Chains A and B, each alone.
Chain A
C-alpha cells in the first residue's frame, strides 16, 4: 500500500499525458480475468482495464480501493438536511411567524418532509457530480479508446511501460499465454 502523498503523486502521474502502454485485447471476459490474475501474480501493476460492462471480480484482482463517493453523499446530504431545517426555521420563526391553525411557529415535525427531500436531492446530485469530477467525465470530452470495440464487445488491459525494473518481454509473454487476441505497444493520451 502506498501512503497518501505517494498515492496523490501517482494520481497526478495518471492524469498527465501521453503514456507508453502495453495493450492486450481479449474477446472474452474469462480470458481477461485469467490474464489479470496472471499479470498481477507477477507483480505487474495494471494501469487500467477497459470493458463494455463492469466485469465483476476485477476490483479485487486489480486492487482497486473502495470508492469514497458515499462520503460525499453523506456529507452533502447532511448539509442539505441542515440547510432545509435552518431555512424553514428562519422563515417560520424568525422572519415572518404566521399562525397556521394554532400550530407552533417552530413546527419541526412538519418540516421533516422537506428536509428529507433536500437531503436526498443534494446528496444525490453531489454524488453524481463527484463521480463526474473524479472520473474526469464532462460533456463533450473527447473519448480516447484504447482499442476499437471496448464499448461494444472487446476487453483490454493496459499496462504502463516503466523505465526501471520492467520486463516488457515477460509481460507480453504472459498476456499472449493467457489468451490475448492481440498484444502491442502504443502511446495514448489517456
Chain B
C-alpha cells in the first residue's frame, strides 16, 4: 500500500508554473503575444536588430566583392574574427539541444518552459555560425566544393575525409538539420492549437498547412513521444560530437596552444556555459517584455544559473590544466605560448576572459544572486563577452606568435571585422524576435502536461498505476516530496 498523498505532494507537479492556470488559460497566456499587437519594446529591439542585419548584408557584399583582405587578416593571423565568431555561435547553439534533449532524457521538468525558445536559439545560432565558414573562404561561390557530390567535377579527386574541417562541415549540417526537425516536431501540436483558435483566414491557412492535420489523437501522441525520445537520444551524442569536432579543427594541428588533447571536453563545457549565458540573456528580456514570468519563473533562472556555475568551473579547470600541461611538457614553444597569453600584447583579452569566465560564475553561489533576474542578466552578458574572448584568445593569440619569431605578427580588426560580428548579432536577434512574435515561444502542450498531470494526481488520490507510467513527469514530484 502506498501512503496517501498529502495536498502539498499532490500540488508538487505544478511547481514550475506560478499560480494554478487552467489548460485554457495556458493557451491564452502563451498565444497572447502572437495575437496582440507587439509593444514598443519589441519594435525598438526589432528595429535595432534589423538595422544590424542590413549592415551584415552590406558588409558581406563588400567582403565578397573585395576579398577577405578587407578583414584585418595577415600571413601570421589567417583566422581571426571569422572563426572566433563561428566557434562562438556554434557554442551558443549547444544550450538549446542540451535543454531539449539531454534534460529530456534526465527527466528534468523545468525544461518545459524554456526548451522551445532554447531550441529556436540553437537554430538561429547555427545559422549565424554557418555563415562564417562560408564567407571566410577566398572564393565563397565555390563553397559547395566542401561537400562531396555526384557527378564529381573535380576529376576523381575527393574531399579529404581525414580532415577535421570536412568532419566539421558534416557535423554542423547534421546538427542544424536534426535541431530543426526536432524543433519543428515539437511545434506541431502547438501549431494545431493555434490553427484551431485562429480567427484570420491567412493565419488559419498557414497554421493548418504546418500543423499536418494534427487532431490530438492519443495513438498519435504515443508514437510522437517515442519519436521525440529517439530524437533526444540521437541528439545527445550529436551535440557532444559537434563541439568536439569543432575543437579538433584546432587540436589536430601542431600549433602551440591548439595542439592539445583536452580540447574536446573543454570546448563542450565552454559551449554549454556560453549557451546557457545566451539563454539567460534572451529569456530574462523575453519573460519581461512578453509578460511570461508565470511560466519562466525565477526558479528556472536559478536552475540555469547552477548550470553556469558548474560549466564555468569546468572551463576554469581547463584553463588551469592548459597552463599546467604547457609547463609540465617542457616544450619551449608551448611554454612560451602560455607566457605570451598572460603577458603578451593580447594579455588584456586573456584577463577579460578570466574575469568573465573564471570569476563571474562564482558570484552565483548564493540563492539570492541566482533568483535575482537583473543580476543574472548582467552575469549572462559577462558570460557572453567572456566566451567570445575565450575563442579569440585561443585562435588569435595562438596564431600571432607561433614558432619562428620572423613569422610573428599582430591582428587588428578592421571596421568590416567588427561590422560582420555586429551583423551576426543582427541576424540572430532578428530571427529570435520574429520567432517570439509569430510562434509560441513556450511549448504549450508540454506545460499542459506538467500542470495537467498535477491536477490529474490531485483527483486520483487512489490511482494505482501513475507512478510507473508517468514517464517524463516523475522527477519534479519526487523533488518536492523529498524537500
Residues of A within 8 A of B (CB): 28-31, 33-34, 48-60, 62, 64, 66-67, 69-70, 73, 77, 87-88, 91-92, 95-96, 98, 100, 103, 107, 110-111, 113-114, 116-118, 120-121, 123-125, 127-128, 130-132, 134-146, 148-153, 190
Contacts and interface: CB of A to CB of B under 8 A. Distances in A.
B469 A113 contact: no
B465 A54 contact: no
B79 to A, nearest CB: 20
Contacts of A57: 463, 465-466, 469-470
B210 A114 contact: no
A10 B174 CA distance: 38
B234 A120 contact: yes
Interface residues of B, number: 81
A92 B212 contact: no
Interface stretch (B54-62, B338-346, B443-451): B443-451
A73 B234 contact: yes
Contacts of B226: 66-67, 69-70
Contact of B167 (A31, A56, A113, A127): A113
Contact of A50 (B182, B215, B231, B456): B215
Contact of A48 (B156, B160, B217, B235): B217
A140 B208 contact: yes
Interface stretch (B237-245, B356-364, B370-378, B427-435): B237-245
A98 to B, nearest CB: 7
A162 B230 CA distance: 37
B448 A117 contact: no
Contacts of B446: 53
Contacts of A130: 227
Interface in B355-414: none
A96 B224 contact: no
B483 interface: no
Given A117-B238, A150-B215, A152-B197, 19 more contacts: A29-B452, A30-B456, A30-B460, A50-B218, A53-B189, A53-B448, A58-B218, A60-B465, A69-B230, A114-B170, A118-B170, A120-B238, A123-B230, A131-B227, A132-B212, A135-B224, A137-B213, A152-B23, A152-B193
Contacts of A144: 213, 215
Contacts of B164: 113
Given A54-B449, A151-B215, A124 B456 contact: no
Contact of A150 (B174, B216, B219): B216
B215 A143 contact: yes
Interface string B451-462: 011011011100
A132 B213 CA distance: 11
B345 to A, nearest CB: 33
Given A30-B460, A91-B161, A139-B209, A54 B222 contact: yes
A5 to B, nearest CB: 20
A52 B216 contact: yes
B24 A114 contact: no
B456 A145 contact: no
Pick the most buried of B148, B177, B220, B446: most chain A CB atoms within 10 A of its CB. B220
B108 interface: no
Contact of B455 (A30, A60, A124, A146): A30
Given A50-B218, A69-B230, A70-B226, A110 B178 contact: no
A56 B162 contact: no
A98 B160 contact: yes
A157 to B, nearest CB: 9
Contacts of A117: 167, 170-171, 174, 238, 241
A52 B445 contact: yes
A136 B220 CA distance: 9
8 contacts: A31-B459, A51-B221, A69-B227, A100-B163, A131-B227, A140-B208, A143-B208, A145-B196
Contact of A103 (B162, B210, B231, B248): B162
Contact of B188 (A113, A137, A149): A137
B166 A114 contact: yes
A56 B174 contact: no
Nearest to B213: A141
Contacts of B217: 48-50, 135
A113 B449 CA distance: 37
Contact of A96 (B158, B210, B241, B460): B158
Contacts of A143: 192, 195-196, 208, 211, 213-215
Contacts of B189: 52-53, 151
